Chain A
């Protein structure tokens, strides 16, 4: 933890720990580049970060405070012949605006016993309203009454909790609560809701560390570029994931489940048999491009859907929940996103989406860890003040850090927030994303399980308002305390976040602003803010040296395609010859002593070969076989490892070497045998499924064939249902039995 001087020579210096920067860092470090990765902030992941509840309160407070731009020190004394300086921005506050906090729950519950009273050095704080209103963000004064009572208690808990939580984080002033207002519910919750006991604010603070609240709300497409990258690079070993268990949509004042997988479609009670048939046929047909579709190019997708005679129900599902586009999106775009959705379906679960346990903020950190493990150096609360540019070549030779140290590098990667506005090209007018974060006490659509993870699409509730994507997370995702739900709302900004999203919140949730008592979940606490849209920043065309690469912040899209594509293109510019994130070795496969390392390398190759063979098989069929061979391998390893160690200790070196060699050759032999067995399995399977023989040749083909299989399956099911229908119709109305 000592603050020592950094080394002064690197290949790549990276400023900012957002997703794009972190992926570039991991990719460069993985192929042997010396990487220095810095962030001015005290936490990882920049605008992709996730915070505990208390951490979020601190973050809010930091953004309310006047961002004092540090005195820019003149570094020209550090210049050498033929160099000039480019200064970077000192504050990144521009990316977040319109922060507003509302609390709809009481400080404490009457029945709730206070436990572990903490000594309180601070008197009750009465400045909070002013503090937040003073901020230049134009915090809205709400009409609700401010409850100043029991503030003291809260401040205490707050302070003690944060002490635990934020020890290593930025300096933090105790007791300055960022809330704008503490509105009391119009009626006492205990009277109106006899069953549901409202969770108090104190409880939220006490349970604060169970929250992992993301600044961005995105999901991972099961076959999207992020998931592919995580798997390819083995970074996936640092994280676990949850399926999004259901897709919901808000329509005519109701929240309904959208059937999207085949199982859902057949199980659905909302759809009629005819609708089911139509939906299945549509989903099957839109996987392939047809001439019929091309006719609609440039015309709205909605028009295309209408002409498929799908009916209102299906049209709504297909447009808003599956393609997730607006009414005037062109057909080709709508079809592309429909296909993207369908491709990701069924890989891991009933919906095409995954969500990382502990929140999205984990993902950049996973890549940072990978970078560090391969030698990257990390330093938070440490920034770059300016770039050293060679006047002749217009290339960046190095940087001067916030402590005035000169660090040379051949490439500099920077988060766009650090680049001054004059130097970058952004879309005009600047686009932004509206965000809301809600902590609620019940699910938006209660079901058998209280641990659903839901994606909810909310079409524009009025003309001109944006369509909103909502993600409801349960405590099993480790992002919120048991008994609460964390709800993220996101849309492209039309107005401020509060203007864009509060109409949706008040419709779908019970807040003190809506007076009718109902079954809707209550909002306990919520936060609104706007964030600059990363897709508005352009990667090319900046007034920067050619070896300075700019990364954009989070974009408004649901997936991570934008970020991953950008990271890869930056990496390709830095190291055009190198592989992007090759798989990192499994720590359990690495054996330390030098001779062994070499031999292990050879073995590993072979092992890879054999596994690859297995991989190329259709997964389901070989699963059993693979398991068997893996077991074999593991057993071998178990046997050989302790043996080696013993020999090391007892026998003279030469004998020991011979012994090891012997064992290794044995191992190789056994593995070869295993490989042979696998090859046999491959052959057998190839004979069994002649029509699938293409699959063995490459994985891409396999995917295509699998989807073909699925189609066949669908067609079969369709036929069956058709026959059933037919029979049904014949008995009633023979004329209707066409098609």
Chain B
């Protein structure tokens, strides 16, 4: 039987580091220099055929550029199972902010067994750099990132790989026994309820 998994993944990082570019590149295979702030969209959906019997629906939640002052609602963090933390390699301040974002993430959401959600660090806009960058392996180990990638939304490098790395970690967490979400929660919906099951249950298995 084919199983369908739904994962809520957060894409966080400072203003202008390329979060929206990464999402659009990954989900829609497009890249543009100019984006208007994403209006009216909570998340972009990427459907992955993971293997012959697993389909993964990845909900990529952008921090609506509007919440850029760093005051995320709990609604945004709630029930996320993974995160991509993005910084811009050409701006040191965005790298400094990475730990703030990671802390904010860990303080507001954990997996059911209390461990932090897996986070992958993306060093974006790597196409702007000619020289080799310092490795971030030890930085990741020390700060609880499960991995890091030099990415470029413009040249489409490493984005698929980063997402794959994150999904693998999410799946590892899935396999370890989790406390089931309390069944019997109600979802209120009007007539656009075709996908109601998908929107609120990030860790359940659908057949």
Please list the residues of chain A having a beta carbon within 8 angstroms of any beta carbon in chain B: 1-4, 44, 164-168, 209, 227, 230-232, 234, 236-243, 348, 354, 357-358, 362, 365-366, 368-369, 372-380, 382, 451, 476, 478, 583-590, 592-593, 608, 611-612, 614-615, 630, 633-634, 641-642, 645, 648-649
* Minimal beta-carbon separation of B46 from chain A (angstroms): 11
Would you call B41 and A590 a contact (CB within 8 A)? yes
Interface pick from B71-79, B119-127, B167-175: B71-79
Q: Mark B174-197, 1 if CB is under 8 A from A, else 0.
A: 000000001011111111101110
Decide yes or no whether B104 CB sits under 8 A from chain A.
yes
Would you call A358 and B78 a contact (CB within 8 A)? yes
Would you call B200 and A237 a contact (CB within 8 A)? yes
In the complex, A474→B20 CA distance in Å? 40
Would you call B43 and A365 a contact (CB within 8 A)? no
* Minimal beta-carbon separation of A350 from chain B (angstroms): 12
In the complex, A589→B24 CA distance in Å? 16
Name the contact of A236 in the complex, choosing from B71, B106, B182, B189 (C-beta under 8 A).
Answer: B189
Decide yes or no whether B92 CB sits under 8 A from chain A.
no
In the complex, A390→B57 CA distance in Å? 54
Would you call A379 and B191 a contact (CB within 8 A)? no
Decide yes or no whether B40 CB sits under 8 A from chain A.
yes
User: Chain A residue with minimal CB distance to B201?
Assistant: A240
Would you call B42 and A587 a contact (CB within 8 A)? yes
Decide yes or no whether B44 CB sits under 8 A from chain A.
yes
* Minimal beta-carbon separation of B198 from chain A (angstroms): 7
In the complex, A382→B73 CA distance in Å? 16
A630: which B residues are within 8 A, CB to CB?
A: 194
In the complex, A348→B15 CA distance in Å? 42
Decide yes or no whether B136 CB sits under 8 A from chain A.
no
In the A-B complex, the 9 residue pairs with the closest CB atoms: A1-B70, A236-B188, A240-B185, A365-B73, A380-B71, A241-B186, A369-B75, A476-B182, A372-B66
* Minimal beta-carbon separation of A15 from chain B (angstroms): 14
Name the contact of B75 in the complex, choosing from A234, A348, A366 (C-beta under 8 A).
Answer: A366
A378: which B residues are within 8 A, CB to CB?
A: 66-67, 69, 71, 73
Would you call A379 and B188 a contact (CB within 8 A)? no
In the complex, A369→B30 CA distance in Å? 26
* Minimal beta-carbon separation of B177 from chain A (angstroms): 16
B188: which A residues are within 8 A, CB to CB?
A: 227, 230-231, 236, 239, 241, 354
Known: A379-B71, A587-B45. 16 other contacts (CB 8 A): A1-B70, A2-B15, A164-B106, A240-B186, A242-B186, A354-B188, A368-B75, A369-B73, A373-B38, A375-B37, A380-B69, A380-B71, A587-B43, A587-B59, A641-B47, A642-B47
Please list the residues of chain B having a beta carbon within 8 angstroms of any beta carbon in chain A: 14-15, 24, 28-30, 37-45, 47, 59, 64, 66-71, 73-76, 78, 93, 97, 100-101, 103-104, 106-107, 110, 182, 184-192, 194-196, 198-200
In the complex, A379→B45 CA distance in Å? 28
In the complex, A439→B25 CA distance in Å? 49
In the complex, A369→B10 CA distance in Å? 14
Name the contact of B39 in the complex, choosing from A167, A227, A375, A377 (C-beta under 8 A).
Answer: A375
Would you call B30 and A586 a contact (CB within 8 A)? no
Would you call A373 and B64 a contact (CB within 8 A)? yes
In the complex, A230→B190 CA distance in Å? 9
Would you call B24 and A2 a contact (CB within 8 A)? no
Would you call B190 and A232 a contact (CB within 8 A)? yes
Name the contact of A237 in the complex, choosing from B30, B40, B107, B189 (C-beta under 8 A).
Answer: B189
Would you call B45 and A588 a contact (CB within 8 A)? yes
A592: which B residues are within 8 A, CB to CB?
A: 24, 28, 30
A366: which B residues are within 8 A, CB to CB?
A: 73, 75
Would you call A44 and B73 a contact (CB within 8 A)? yes
Would you call A241 and B185 a contact (CB within 8 A)? yes
A165: which B residues are within 8 A, CB to CB?
A: 107
User: Chain B residue with minimal CB distance to A163?
Assistant: B107
Would you call A376 and B66 a contact (CB within 8 A)? yes
A379: which B residues are within 8 A, CB to CB?
A: 69, 71
Would you call A634 and B194 a contact (CB within 8 A)? yes
User: Chain B residue with minimal CB distance to A35?
Assistant: B66
Would you call A611 and B66 a contact (CB within 8 A)? no
Would you call B190 and A374 a contact (CB within 8 A)? no
B71: which A residues are within 8 A, CB to CB?
A: 44, 378-380
In the complex, A635→B24 CA distance in Å? 24
B15: which A residues are within 8 A, CB to CB?
A: 2, 4
B38: which A residues are within 8 A, CB to CB?
A: 373
Name the contact of A164 in the complex, choosing from B40, B78, B107, B191 (C-beta under 8 A).
Answer: B107
Would you call B40 and A358 a contact (CB within 8 A)? no
In the complex, A583→B40 CA distance in Å? 11
* Minimal beta-carbon separation of A632 from chain B (angstroms): 11
User: Chain B residue with minimal CB distance to A381?
Assistant: B71
In the complex, A44→B72 CA distance in Å? 9
In the complex, A612→B190 CA distance in Å? 10
A373: which B residues are within 8 A, CB to CB?
A: 38-42, 64, 66
Would you call A238 and B44 a contact (CB within 8 A)? no
Name the contact of B187 in the complex, choosing from A4, A240, A377 (C-beta under 8 A).
Answer: A240
Q: Could you name 29 residue pairs across A and B whose Cβ atoms are closer than 8 Å?
A: A1-B97, A44-B71, A164-B106, A168-B70, A168-B103, A168-B107, A232-B190, A237-B199, A240-B185, A240-B200, A241-B188, A358-B74, A358-B78, A366-B75, A368-B73, A368-B75, A372-B66, A374-B39, A375-B64, A378-B67, A478-B182, A587-B41, A587-B43, A587-B59, A592-B28, A593-B28, A608-B192, A634-B194, A648-B29
A590: which B residues are within 8 A, CB to CB?
A: 40-41
Task: Select the residue from B30, B97, B194 with max chain A CB neighbours within 10 A.
Answer: B194
A633: which B residues are within 8 A, CB to CB?
A: 194
B187: which A residues are within 8 A, CB to CB?
A: 236-237, 240-241
User: Chain A residue with minimal CB distance to B63?
Assistant: A372
* Minimal beta-carbon separation of A356 from chain B (angstroms): 10
User: Chain A residue with minimal CB distance to B185?
Assistant: A240
B39: which A residues are within 8 A, CB to CB?
A: 373-375
In the complex, A238→B187 CA distance in Å? 9
Would you call B191 and A611 a contact (CB within 8 A)? yes
In the complex, A645→B198 CA distance in Å? 22
Task: Select the residue from A369, A614, A641 with max chain B CB neighbours within 10 A.
Answer: A369
B200: which A residues are within 8 A, CB to CB?
A: 237, 240
In the complex, A243→B188 CA distance in Å? 12
In the complex, A32→B191 CA distance in Å? 23
In the complex, A382→B196 CA distance in Å? 36
User: Chain B residue with minimal CB distance to A612?
Assistant: B191
A240: which B residues are within 8 A, CB to CB?
A: 185-187, 200
Would you call A357 and B195 a contact (CB within 8 A)? no
A243: which B residues are within 8 A, CB to CB?
A: 186
Task: Select the residue from B100, B187, B189, B192 with max chain A CB neighbours within 10 A.
Answer: B192
In the complex, A240→B196 CA distance in Å? 11
A44: which B residues are within 8 A, CB to CB?
A: 71, 73-74
* Minimal beta-carbon separation of A160 from chain B (angstroms): 13
In the complex, A467→B34 CA distance in Å? 60
B186: which A residues are within 8 A, CB to CB?
A: 240-243, 348, 354
* Minimal beta-carbon separation of B111 from chain A (angstroms): 13
